[in-house]
Amino acid sequence: MTALTELEVDGRFEHGQVVLDKPPAFPEGARLRIRVMAEPVKPRREWPEGFFERTAGQADPSLERPPQGEYEIREPLA
């Protein structure tokens, strides 16, 4: 009998299959018994709740961007 390997990886459900974002390190063709506990997560592209309320206007108002100088004209490469 072999030891139980516990994994926690992100994944998604596509076309009736669970797709793992990072495949576990098992040899190709390994036979596995898999138990799944699914927990819905918010998509990563969303801002955290209250993000803008906590950050808007928080920068030091005395910060100024210094002059950037003149644009350098370069010789063409070809």
For the chain, the domains span 1-41
> With a threshold of 0.85, does the pTM exceed it?
no
Q: Residue 54: enclosing H or E segment and its boundaries?
A: helix 51-55
pLDDT at 1 (0 to 100): 47
Give the closest residue to 42 by CA, choosing from 12, 20, 7.
12
Cα separation, 39 vs 19, whole angstroms: 14
Cα separation, 69 vs 78, whole angstroms: 27
Contact between 10 and 41 under an 8 Å Cβ cutoff? The reply is: yes
How do residues 18-53 score in pLDDT, each as one tens digit?
Answer: 887 766 777 778 787 777 777 887 777 778 888 888
Cα separation, 78 vs 61, whole angstroms: 45
Amino acid at 61: P
